[in-house]
């Protein structure tokens, strides 16, 4: 007898043969099973390295032209997009509009599921209109199953408005999907431990991909020096301490001097570094950084220790 064909061809909706008896396992065995499945995620993302790199280059081009990175999703996918976008301003001192997360159902959907919000493509299109999407923007649709109507509606409108578009999913992409977008990223993590629960492996893969795209884009637009987040804005005690330590390490100064520089620079580490190395006040240092497109290495050279 031939094996039965899956009722749904989407990889995210198929049953995982390794977890079909999960309800009979001990607690420790459940933990081991989920951990074993999670180990597959990084490798699956790695298989998409070229597509991820292409997406990064598209994002960087748009940001350098004054455009934005817009994530669009529903449910877990939408929440992960909003999470990644919300972490960019404090980490890299960017305008909150530069990287945005759009979720079906609006902000309320972040904390309480909005059933049915994902089913309306026109709502996704309207969200693009509301944000004035244009040719300098890159819109990345996120949908583990690849079929979310809200996301497809948003991307269709974004393309019509001249934006570059990408799609992130965790099932086999159709030929039509491949032809419709500038880049398609499809880490195939396999069926979930709990069938269809894409907040698990698919969600983890999505988080990894978004981390990689946004982090690499910030590196390539001058927000990082070596592996230090020198463009952070001191807004809390934790970031004050981190900023001081960055200055102490890169400039070889004592903490008291790092505190003084941070205070005079308005809490901006990159400006503080330029002030110290160029002997300028905050205004002059910022002007030099602006002329260099924000690249601290181009302004002060390589201060890193061998």
Say if 32 falls within a structural domain.
no
Say if 31 falls within a structural domain.
no
For residue 283, pLDDT over 70 is answered with yes
Say if 178 falls within a structural domain.
yes
Do residue 194 and residue 275 come from a single domain? no
Do residue 261 and residue 161 come from a single domain? no
Range of the domain at 296: 237-300
- Name the catalytic one among 118, 192, 244, 288: 118
Q: Write down the pLDDT at residue 7.
A: 61
- Two tokens at 280? 């300028």
pLDDT tens per residue, range 90-108:
888 899 999 999 999 988 8
For residue 294, pLDDT over 90 is answered with no
Do residue 252 and residue 209 come from a single domain? no
Domain at 64, CATH number: 3.40.50.10490
**Active site includes 264?**
no
Do residue 130 and residue 208 come from a single domain? yes
Q: How far is CA 200 from CA 46, 205, 207, 294, in A?
A: 18, 9, 11, 38
* Entry pTM: 0.89
Per-residue confidence band for 56, with pLDDT thresholds at 50, 70 and 90: very high
Do residue 164 and residue 291 come from a single domain? no
- Two tokens at 304? 């890193």
- Percentage, residues of the chain above pLDDT 70: 96
Quote the CA–CA distance of 242 and 230 in Å, as a whole number. 10
Do residue 197 and residue 139 come from a single domain? yes
Q: Write down the pLDDT at residue 226.
A: 85
Quote the CA–CA distance of 119 and 122 in Å, as a whole number. 9
Domain count, the chain: 2
pLDDT tens per residue, range 221-276:
988 888 888 887 788 888 899 999 999 998 999 999 999 999 999 888 889 999 99
Domain at 277, CATH number: 1.10.8.1080
Q: Which residues pair with 228 in a beta bridge?
A: 225
**Active site includes 61?**
no
Say if 198 falls within a structural domain.
yes
End position of a domain, from candidates 189, 220, 251: 220
Do residue 192 and residue 246 come from a single domain? no
Range in 13-22, 55-64, 77-86 the model is least confident about = 13-22
Tokens 């939408």 appear where?
78
Say if 25 falls within a structural domain.
no
Say if 37 falls within a structural domain.
no
End position of a domain, from candidates 169, 192, 220: 220
pLDDT tens per residue, range 158-217:
999 999 999 999 999 999 999 999 999 999 999 888 998 889 999 999 999 999 999 999
pLDDT tens per residue, range 3-49:
456 667 787 878 888 888 999 999 999 999 999 999 999 999 999 99
Say if 132 falls within a structural domain.
yes
Do residue 179 and residue 103 come from a single domain? yes
**CA 206 to mean position of chain CA atoms:** 9
Do residue 53 and residue 190 come from a single domain? yes
Indicate if the alpha-carbon torsion angle 207, 208, 211, 214 is positive or negative. negative
Do residue 124 and residue 173 come from a single domain? yes
For range 109-124, the mean pLDDT: 84
End position of a domain, from candidates 192, 220, 248: 220
Question: Measuring CA to CA, which residue among 206, 67, 229 is closest to residue 134?
Answer: 67
Do residue 192 and residue 163 come from a single domain? yes
- Name the catalytic one among 61, 87, 249, 264: 87
Q: Write down the pLDDT at residue 304.
A: 57
Do residue 263 and residue 148 come from a single domain? no
């Amino acid at each position: 007898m031939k094996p039965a064909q899956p009722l749904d061809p989407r990889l995210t909706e198929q049953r995982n043969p390794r977890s079909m008896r999960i309800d009979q396992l001990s607690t420790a065995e459940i933990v081991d099973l989920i951990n074993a499945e999670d180990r597959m995620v990084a490798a699956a993302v790695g298989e998409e390295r070229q597509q991820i790199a292409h997406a990064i280059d598209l994002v960087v081009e748009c940001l350098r032209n004054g455009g934005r990175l817009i994530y669009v999703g529903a449910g877990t996918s939408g929440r992960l997009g909003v999470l990644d976008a919300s972490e960019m301003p404090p980490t890299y001192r960017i305008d909150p509009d530069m990287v945005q997360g759009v979720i079906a159902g609006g902000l309320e959907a972040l904390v309480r599921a909005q059933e049915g919000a994902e089913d309306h493509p026109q709502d996704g299109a309207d969200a693009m209109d509301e944000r004035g999407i244009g040719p300098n923007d890159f819109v990345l649709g996120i949908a583990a199953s690849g079929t979310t109507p809200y996301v497809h509606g948003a991307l269709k409108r974004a393309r019509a408005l001249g934006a570059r578009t990408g799609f992130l999913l965790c099932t086999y992409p159709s030929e039509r999907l491949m032809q419709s977008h500038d880049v398609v990223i499809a880490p195939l993590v396999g069926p979930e431990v709990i069938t269809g629960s894409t907040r698990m492996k698919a969600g983890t893969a999505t988080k990894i991909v978004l981390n990689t795209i946004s982090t690499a884009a910030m590196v390539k637009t001058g927000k990082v020096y070596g592996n230090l987040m020198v463009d952070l804005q001191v807004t809390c005690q934790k970031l004050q301490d981190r900023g001081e330590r960055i200055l102490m390490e890169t400039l070889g100064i004592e903490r008291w001097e790092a505190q003084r520089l941070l205070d005079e620079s308005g809490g901006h580490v990159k400006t503080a570094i330029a002030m110290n190395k160029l002997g300028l006040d905050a205004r002059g240092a910022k002007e030099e950084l602006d002329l260099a497109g924000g690249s601290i290495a181009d302004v002060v050279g390589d201060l890193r220790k061998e």
